[in-house]
């Protein structure tokens, strides 16, 4: 948050929709950090846990799901700091905060879908675990973490912004800002587009994981 505030907020003068830039960036970093950590841990879950599932049979889907759910502990701790920052800047939560459970479900659904895909691939193609950090960095700068999504609509129009919303974390991040800070209406259009992608990732990831599950013990 401090680095982003200095580089992007002070030096680059990136707009923050009238919100103090530290609060603007940190509110986005909370869901993003969860997503990045859950994606990384679930990708490596089958590799790190091979000593268990090669000896004892149990549903292998438990392993990536456990990683995704475990990251919620860090997420809750990080989320409490947002309210501390709001108190520092003299801001209070709005009624939109009751939309947070929906956004958290969408966030977990996206992380689970990608986690199932990448964990099933990583156990067979070991180089994937080395590329996950690089992928995480690309996805972070592709998401509106350090800049507002309003820049997309201003430069390219509403239709492009709607297509951009197919990236599920766009709706989640903008939704978090709206729900907690109340500076803009809830971006239901972005959330709806992201839900389509998240559900597709989750269903296809589960099907691919189940298809490859019988090979895990052999290739581990």
Structural domain contains residue 26: yes
Structural domain contains residue 70: yes
Task: Answer whether 0.85 is exceeded by the pTM.
Answer: yes
Q: How far apart are CA 207 and CA 94, in angstroms?
A: 39
Q: How far apart are CA 201 and CA 198, in angstroms?
A: 5
Provide the sign of the torsion angle of the four alpha carbons 26, 172, 108, 138, taken in this order. negative
- Note the pLDDT tens digit of each residue in 47-84: 776 667 666 666 778 889 999 999 999 999 999 999 99
Residue 117, token pair as written in the block: 């895909």
Structural domain contains residue 15: no
Q: Which domain holds residue 51?
A: 2-10+20-219
Closest CA to 31 of 220, 194, 160: 194
3-state secondary structure of 152: helix
Structural domain contains residue 161: yes
pLDDT at position 76: 96
Angle between helices 188-212 and 100-122 (to 10 degrees): 30
Structural domain contains residue 35: yes
**How many domains is the chain partitioned into structurally?**
1
Structural domain contains residue 122: yes
Residue 125, token pair as written in the block: 């193609």
- Note the pLDDT tens digit of each residue in 8-49: 988 888 888 889 999 999 999 999 999 999 999 998 887 776
Average pLDDT (168-175) is: 96
């Amino acid at each position: 948050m401090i680095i982003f505030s200095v580089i992007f907020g002070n030096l680059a003068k990136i707009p923050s929709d009238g919100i103090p830039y530290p609060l603007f960036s940190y509110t986005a970093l909370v869901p993003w950090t969860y997503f990045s950590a859950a994606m990384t841990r679930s990708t490596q879950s089958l590799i790190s846990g091979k000593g268990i599932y090669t000896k004892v049979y149990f549903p292998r889907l438990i392993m990536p799901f456990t990683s995704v759910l475990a990251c919620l502990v860090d997420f809750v701790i990080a989320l409490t700091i947002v309210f501390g920052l709001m108190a520092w800047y003299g801001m209070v939560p709005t009624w939109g905060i009751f939309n947070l459970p929906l956004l958290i479900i969408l966030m977990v659904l996206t992380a689970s879908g990608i986690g199932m895909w990448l964990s099933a691939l990583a156990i067979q193609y070991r180089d994937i675990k080395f590329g996950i950090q690089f992928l995480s960095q690309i996805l972070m700068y592709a998401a509106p973490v350090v800049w507002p999504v309003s820049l997309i609509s201003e430069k390219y129009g509403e239709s492009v912004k709607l297509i951009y919303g197919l990236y599920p974390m766009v709706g989640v991040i903008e939704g978090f800002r709206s729900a907690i800070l109340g500076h803009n209406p809830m971006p239901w259009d972005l959330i709806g587009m992201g839900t389509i992608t998240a559900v597709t990732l989750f269903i296809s990831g589960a099907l691919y994981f189940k298809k490859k599950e019988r090979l895990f013990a052999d290739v581990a």
